[in-house]
Amino acid sequence: ATPTALLVGTGRGAQLGILIKGPEVLEQTRVIDTIVLDKTGTVTTGVMTLEEVHLSGADRQTLLSIAGSLENASEHPIARAIAQGAAAEIGAFAEVDDFRNHEGHGVSGLVDGRHALVGKPSLLADHGMALGDLEAAFEAAQEAGKTVVAAGWDGAVRGVLVVADQVKPTSAEAVEQLTGLGLEVILLTGDNDRVARHIAAQVGIDRVISEVLPQDKVEVVERLQKEGRSVAMVGDGVNDAPALVQADLGLAMGTGTDVALEAADIALVRGDLRSAADAIRLSRKTLTTIK
Ligand code: ADP
Ligand code: MG
């Protein structure tokens, strides 16, 4: 094989935007029995928007300024939604000192003289900030399948920010096709279990593995392999790369990062999850043709 990507089924593969790293990959498409799908950016568009802000002991302007300024320093899709939503209302961001990214949990830093945190309630709780009277708003948003984060400083949660991501219009059909190929489909995410189950229900996935830290995604794949499964993994983010390598078959969505694309066996140029089913079907067929 050449080091450059091989286009399987030539015309058809190219047409479908499917790049296969080498011929040995074809065999793998035949042995897999389980397919793990990352939620954000794979099943959903990954483009989040800030939809609601709930406050407790802070005015909207202050909350958006602090949360927006902090998140402006992060690349996370949640962070981008909050920074963009805030920018529309506050004008300019404030300066941030001691910025810290708590991978898979949130962010923190010194803004306007306040040590502030934005992220999971558990991260804020670790710093003595409880949801308090914002708990109801937080849970209602989660119940509705939305991603919610808390923002706080000076010993209390001051606001909750609701961001929403949309399921890609073709994801449900893709899940049906993957199931039709004899694969058990599992949704994997760092997000909350309620949100994950809501998304899973929308696309017809029964099994959900949620609240998994980025560095632990690879262990989830390993655990499934120890159960005797042959596992395919579809992801798009930097934090999906180790899991894509560990999987028996790694598929990266083309809208994702270069790191994920490099780690994968198959690159799906289009951001459409149906390409994953196409890639597996086409690879299996190509193998039959070669033999
Ligand atoms: P996913 O697996 O869906 O891509 P991550 O593992 O990146 O999610 O993040 C898991 C959770 O950590 C998020 O759902 C969010 O609650 C929290 N989180 C991570 N980064 C941030 C951030 N920059 N701002 C706020 N919350 C964050
Ligand atoms: Mg992700």
Nearest Cα neighbor of 159 from 126, 137, 140, 143 is 137
Digit-coded pLDDT (tens) for 42-96: 999 988 999 999 999 999 999 999 999 999 999 888 999 999 999 999 989 999 9
pLDDT surpassing 80 at residue 9: no
At the topology level of CATH, where does 49-164 sit? Calcium-transporting ATPase, cytoplasmic domain N (3.40.1110)
Ligand nearest the Cα atom of residue 149: 1
At 113, list the tokens: 């003289």
Which CATH architecture is the domain 11-45+167-290 placed in?
Answer: 3-Layer(aba) Sandwich (3.40)
Nearest Cα neighbor of 41 from 214, 236, 224, 254 is 236
b/e burial code for range 73-85 (CB count within 10 A of at least 16 → b): bbebbbbbbbbeb
How many Å apart are CA 39 and CA 280, to the nearest integer?
20
Which atom in ligand 1 lies closest to the alpha carbon of residue 214?
Answer: 6
Q: Hey, how many other C-beta atoms are within 10 angstroms of the C-beta on 154?
A: 12
Q: Which amino acid is at 136?
A: A
Q: Which residues surround ligand 2, an ion (CB under 5 A)?
A: 40, 237
Task: Determine if residue 33 is left, alpha or beta; phi over 0 gives left, psi from -120 to 50 gives alpha, anything else beta.
Answer: alpha
Ligand nearest the Cα atom of residue 235: 2
Digit-coded pLDDT (tens) for 196-244: 999 999 999 999 999 999 889 999 999 999 999 999 999 987 788 999 9
Which residue ranges make up each domain of the chain? 11-45+167-290, 49-164
pLDDT surpassing 50 at residue 5: no
Helix (H) or strand (E) holding 121: helix 121-126
Q: Which amino acid is at 41?
A: G
pLDDT surpassing 70 at residue 141: yes
* 11-45+167-290 and 49-164 agree in CATH topology: no
Predicted confidence at residue 291, as pLDDT, reads: 59
Distance (angstroms) between ligand 1 centre and the Cα of 210 equals 12
Predicted confidence at residue 3, as pLDDT, reads: 33
